Chain A
């Protein structure tokens, strides 16, 4: 009996749908708490090809929500270990590991020939970068996030509005799994939901998950959500820039303190704080591009808010990433 018999029997799948899955190419960004169930279910379902992008190594403090990995995998690249595990799970699924961060410079290339992209990363910068690239390339994007006891997953781009249409702006402060904690099964629920949404996209099921957000609150045992098919793209928004694309002519600002980052983003970057920007604060020369750098992109976003109050020129954001792994 075929290993896919129990899903092929569904009218939503059938032999034709199974063949579609076998021909499909998924891009999975992030092999952590969301990525692990996504990878297991997509490989298990017989998706033919998965490109897996993750710059981090396996960390013991993350195993509570990444049960694909074992203690002995600690300090090995997650993308490589995941590819090994998935090869054993289903040799019909070809997994191409890319042990590097997704950034605005490599996103378009990674999306070439991809049928569906999955944002399983843990940062706003990765989510918005992927959303911008998917929107431009017309590739469906399944994006999710989980923190504490809650999370959400949604289908964007590929004909539906982008992530920016639903969330045009970011909060002043945002917790992370490292700062606020998260329970493994909560992330697992959101990752499983992403996998289901991706299969629905590949199988062409209706109603489409594109244009739909599903939210989950494990503290109150509540699922919610809404459709956003008619949401319009925001007129303005700051794009992310790859660290390697900062030019010497840019008004480059490193918002990280010296203690946080002894070596600045570039030799010509000036060190400023978010609060330095605003009325009376520093501005670039006319025609110069402002490039605001920090670790996650969140301080850059806040500084861009303040700078845009007093300056109308181009602003780009750079997320420099973690100095050490704790993804």
Chain B
């Protein structure tokens, strides 16, 4: 299905957010994730099913200022 990842169109075969992150190469990366503007905690990713057109946002913690 087609989703967007940080506004970039991507095609994934994954059914859940956890599978999609693996497929997209984020694997064990320590990141925050949101779907359609709402935060999805790491513990809920395996149970979060994705739908066609979902907007996935991936944000890594950074330090700098």
Contacts and interface: CB of A to CB of B under 8 A. Distances in A.
Contact of B39 (A35, A123, A226): A226
A171 B65 contact: no
Given A226-B38, A226-B39, A226-B57, A123 B63 contact: yes
A215 interface: yes
B37 to A, nearest CB: 5
Contacts of A124: 61, 63
A152 B63 CA distance: 10
A315 interface: no
A228 B39 contact: yes
Contact of A174 (B7, B39, B57, B62): B62
B21 to A, nearest CB: 14
Given A169-B30, A171-B29, A231-B41, A296 B63 contact: yes
A190 to B, nearest CB: 8
Interface stretch (A141-149, A237-245, A258-266): A141-149
Interface in B33-62: 34, 37-39, 41-42, 57, 59-62
Interface residues of A, number: 49
A147 B42 CA distance: 24
A287 interface: no
Interface string A115-157: 0000011111001000000000000000011110011100000
**Among B57, B59, B63: residue with most chain A CB under 10 A:** B63
B1 interface: no
B59 to A, nearest CB: 6
B64 to A, nearest CB: 4
10 contacts: A127-B63, A152-B62, A167-B32, A171-B29, A175-B64, A217-B6, A224-B59, A226-B38, A228-B39, A231-B39
Given A166-B39, A169-B30, A220-B7, 13 more contacts: A33-B65, A35-B65, A120-B65, A145-B61, A146-B65, A167-B32, A170-B61, A171-B29, A171-B30, A175-B64, A222-B7, A224-B6, A224-B7
Interface of A: 30, 32-35, 120-124, 127, 144-147, 150-152, 165-172, 174-177, 180, 182, 187, 190-191, 213, 215, 217, 220, 222, 224-228, 230-232, 296
